[in-house]
Amino acid sequence: MSETSAAPGPAVPDEPLSLLQVFRRLESGPRGLSEEQAEQRLASHGANVLPAGRSPSWPRLFARSLRDPFTAVLLCLGLVSAVVLSWGTTAVILLLVVVSCVLRASGEQRADRSTAGLRELVANTACVLRRAHDDETPAAREIPVEDLVPGDVVRLGPGDLVPADVRLLRSTGLTVHQAALTGESAPVAKSADGDPDGTGPLHDPRLCFQGSSVATGSAVAVVTGTGGGTRLSAAHRPAGKPLTTSFDRSVQGISWILIRFMLLTPPLVLMANAGLRGRGLETLPFAVAVAVGLTPEMLPVLVTTCLARGAALLARTHGVIVRRLPALHDTGAMDVLCVDKTGTLTQDRPVVHRALDADGDDDPEVLRLAAAAAWWSLQLADVPTPDALDEALQAVVDEEALLAHDGDTALPFDPVRRLATVVVRTPGRLGTRTLITKGAVDAVLARCLLTDDERSALRALADRQAADGLRVLAVATAERPAGDRAVERGLTFRGLLTLRDELAPTAAEALAQLAARGVTVKVLTGDHPGTALRACRDLGLPVVAADAVTADGVDALTDAELTGLARRTTVFARCTPEHKTRITRALQAGGHTVGFLGDGVNDLPALRAADVGIAPREAAEVTRESADLVLAEKDLTAIGHAVAAGRHAGGNIVTYLRVTLSSNLGNVIAMLSAGLLLPFLPMLPAQVLVQNLCFDAAQLAFSYDRPDPSAAHRPSVLDPRELLRFIVGFGALNAVADLATFGVLALALREAGNEEALFHSGWFTENLLTQAVVMVLLRTGLSRGVLRRPGPVTWAALALAGIGLLLPASPLGAAVGLSALPGLYYALLAGVLALYAVGLVAARTRYERLRYGS
C-alpha cells in the first residue's frame, strides 16, 4: 500500500498526495482522533490484524488427506473388492486408509498449533495520540496494536515496530529497517519533508510500512492503512503453490505406474483362465486378489508414519516445525537451497572490520576517536538509543578509551548532512576543544583541508573497500578554542572505518553441513553484489566476483538461458521478489528440487514457488504462515538436521516401495504363469489376503528402520522411472525363484495326495520366506560387505519367516485351506532360497555400481 491506503475505509490511491489531501481522505488531522471516532472506525474497519490465516479443522485435514493419490488408488481397489463381494479385502483396505488419514491429519494439526505459538513474537502496543472529547487536547498513551485505526496519530521511537502503514508528519533523524519488505540490509532514511523519487511507495521517504522497524530517530505519523489494507497484508494473500512440489510429482508418477499395472492385471488373469482353462467369472475374485496383491496397501500408512515420526523428532530435538508433512520428503530430496542474505545468513547489524589511516594501513586511533564520538553522541544529544553503527563502534573499544575524552556538545547524525559530530575537551590542553566528525566518505572529505589529488586518492581507497562488500565511514578532527561553534569545516582527515554485516552465529556451520550432504547453496539478495560476496566469503563459500550476477543480467536472459546460468551461479544480487521467483523456477526447470530460506515479505513469492519454503522464527508473520518448515530456534544448523530427517524418511519410503513392488510383481508374474500351467487356481483368494496381511504388517517396520548413514549424503528422490526399472529387474528375479519353487513342489509332491492343498501351502510358505529374504537383503547393503546389528526390519522379517513355516501346519492354516508339507520340500526350498539370496546380492551390487558408481 501507500500513504493513501486506508484499510477497508476510503480508498487512497498510490499517487503521491499532499499532507492536506491525506488528512481529508482519512477525515483526520494533526491532533488525531477522539475516542468516539476511534471506536466507530474500529467497528467499521475491523481490528488491525493480518487477515485470519485460520488453521483448518481436523475434519478438513482428514478430508484433504483422502485426496492423496496413493489413498485414491487404495479406495478404488476397495470399491472393486466390494463389487465382487470380497468383504475381507474391502475391510482391510478401508482400515489402512483411515489409519493413514488419521495420522496425517493429526500431525499437520500439531504443526499448525506450534506455528500459532510463534505469533506471540511481535510487539503488541503502540503510542497513540487520542482525545477523550473533540474539544480536548490530545494525550499520548499506549494501546494494543490491534486497536489502531486509519486516521490515528502515532509516535515512533528507536526500536519500535511500525504498527501500521503510516504517513510521516514530523521526523528527526529517522531511519528504518525495512529488510522484511525490500531485502535491504542497511537502514533507510525517512523524512516527513522528503520528496518521492518515483520508484514506488516503498522508496517514498515520507511513508513507513507495517513490518518495518525504527533504527534511529523519532517521528510522529498518521495511520493510513491497518489490517487488510496494509502492504504487508497484500503479501499475506497466498494463491497456493503455483507449481507442484517434488513429492507431488513423484507420487503422481508412481501412482500412474500402479494404476496401469492394476488395470492390466485382472483382464489378463480372466482372459488367460478363460482361454486356456475354460474358467469364467468364478476367477474374478482371484483376479481382484492378484491386483490387490500387486498394490502396496501399506504405502499411505507407511509414508505418513515415516514423515510424522521425522517431523515429531525434528520438533522435539531441533525446534523445526514441519507444517506440511510431504514437505519433509521434499527437504530430503532437496539438492539446491536458495537463501536470502539479510536476516538469515547475516543479522541486521554491522560489526567493525578494520580502521585505516590515509595510506590504508591499520590505525587503532581512528577507531578510538570514532567510538568516543559515538559514545558522547549518545550521552549529549538526547538520543534514546545508539544506532547500529554506533553500537558496533562501542562494542570493540574498552570503557577506558570511551571515557578518555570529556564530552562538551554533540550534533547527532542527520540523514541530510550524513554526518555526526561531537566536541570534546582536548586532553592536557585547557581551553581547547577537539571536534570529531564521522559519517559518509564524500560528506567528510568535502569538509577536510585536502588537495584535489589527496581527495581523489582517499575516495579511491574508500571505493576499493566498498567494492569488497564493506560499509565505509570517514573520520576527521579539528581543534577549536573553547566556546567556538562546532563548525564542520577545515577538518583534518584521520582515516576510514570499514564495517561488515554480522554473520548469523550458526550460518557457517549450517552451510558446511549442507555442502557435506550434497546441497548447493545459492544466495538471492536485494543487496549490492559486493556485500553479498563478502558475506559468502566470510561464511566459507568459495566465491569470486564472477560468481555474482545482478538483476539486470537476469532480465537480459530467456528462461532457457537462465536455467543454465542458475546452475553455475552462486550469488544473485539486486534481486526483486520477481527475480527470486524466476530464478527458483529456473532451477526447478533444470531438474533440481529447490528449497528457499527467507524471512521477509519480499521473499514470499519465491518461498511459495520453491518445493520447500523455510522461514526462521524472526521472519515476518506472513512469511512464517506461508512456510513449509519453520525454524523455531535461532539455529540454522537445524536445516541440515531437517535434510537428514527427510532423507531418513525418504530412504525408508523408497526401500519399502522397492521391496514391496518387486516382490509383488514377481508374485503376480508367477501367479499368471501358474494359472496357465495348473488345472486349479495357484492360490485361493483367502490365502492371498492372509499372505498380504502378513507381509503388510511386517513392512510397517520400515517406518522405524535405521538407514545406512551414507544415505544422508545424497538426495532421496522418488524417481518413478528409476523405480520402474528396479521393480522390473528384481521382480523378474523373484518370479524366477517362484517358478523354481514350482519345480520343487512337483518333485516333493509326486507321491503325496491332496495335491492342490499342498501346492497352495508350499507356495504360501515360499512367498513369505522370499519376501523375508528380500526385506533383509535389499535393505542391509550386503553388497558393500556391511553387516549391521539387527533392527526392526530384521526382526520383522524373522517373524514373517516364522509365520510362513508354522502357519500351514497349524489349525489357523487349515481354516484357510493350508496343510502340513513334507520334509523333502523344505530341504529343496532351502536350496532355492540360497540361490535366490546369492542372485539378490549380485544384482544389488551391480545396481549400486551402475547407479552410484560404488
- Active site residues per annotation: 340
Distances (CA, A) of 750 to 268, 273, 563, 746: 30, 25, 66, 6
Q: How far apart are CA 678 and CA 822, in angstroms?
A: 20
User: What are phi and psi for residue 786, nearest 5 degrees?
Assistant: -110, 120
8-state DSSP, 777: H
CA atoms within 13 A on the CB side of 456: 3
| Coil vs helix vs strand at 685 | helix
Q: If you search the block for the grid coordinates 512464517, which residue do you land on?
A: 624
Q: How far apart are CA 10 and CA 207, in angstroms?
A: 18
Burial 281-295 (b: 16+ CB within 10 A, else e): eebbbbbbbbbbbbb
Contact 226, 10 (CB under 8 A): no
Q: How far apart are CA 600 and CA 277, in angstroms?
A: 69
The separation between the first and the last C-alpha atoms of the chain, rounded to the nearest angstrom, is 57
| Amino acid identity at 809 | A
Q: Please give the full DSSP string across 354-423, using - where no structure is assigned.
A: EEE-TTS-B-HHHHHHHHHHHHHHHHHTT-SS--HHHHHHHHTS-HHHHTTS-EEEEEEEETTTTEEEEE
| Amino acid identity at 685 | P
8-state DSSP, 56: P
User: What are phi and psi for residue 344, nearest 5 degrees?
Assistant: -120, -70
- DSSP-derived pairing of the beta strands 125-131 and 33-34: parallel
Contact 769, 694 (CB under 8 A): no
Burial 586-595 (b: 16+ CB within 10 A, else e): bbbeeebbbb
User: What are phi and psi for residue 746, nearest 5 degrees?
Assistant: -65, -40
Q: Which of 374, 61, 53 is nearest to 238 (CA)?
A: 53
Q: If you search the block for the grid coordinates 500513504, which residue do you land on?
A: 3
H or E element, residue 266? helix 246-277
Q: Which of 535, 616, 527 is nearest to 576 (CA)?
A: 527
565 contacts: CB under 8 Å, gap ≥ 6: 549, 553, 554, 557, 586
Angle at 179 between CA 237 and CA 463, to 5 degrees: 145
H or E element, residue 205? none
Contact 230, 210 (CB under 8 A): yes
CA atoms within 13 A on the CB side of 201: 23
User: What are phi and psi for residue 852, nearest 5 degrees?
Assistant: -110, -5
| Amino acid identity at 356 | L
Q: Would the CA dihedral through 535, 540, 544, 547 be positive or negative? A: negative
199-206 long-range Cβ contacts below 8 angstroms, 24+ apart = 201/1, 201/2, 201/3, 201/14, 201/231, 202/178, 202/231, 204/2, 204/3, 204/16, 206/3, 206/167, 206/168
Q: How far apart are CA 399 and CA 630, in angstroms?
A: 40
Q: Please give the full DSSP string across 210-254, using - where no structure is assigned.
A: BTBEEEEEEEEEEEEE-GGGSHHHHTT-----SS--HHHHHHHHH
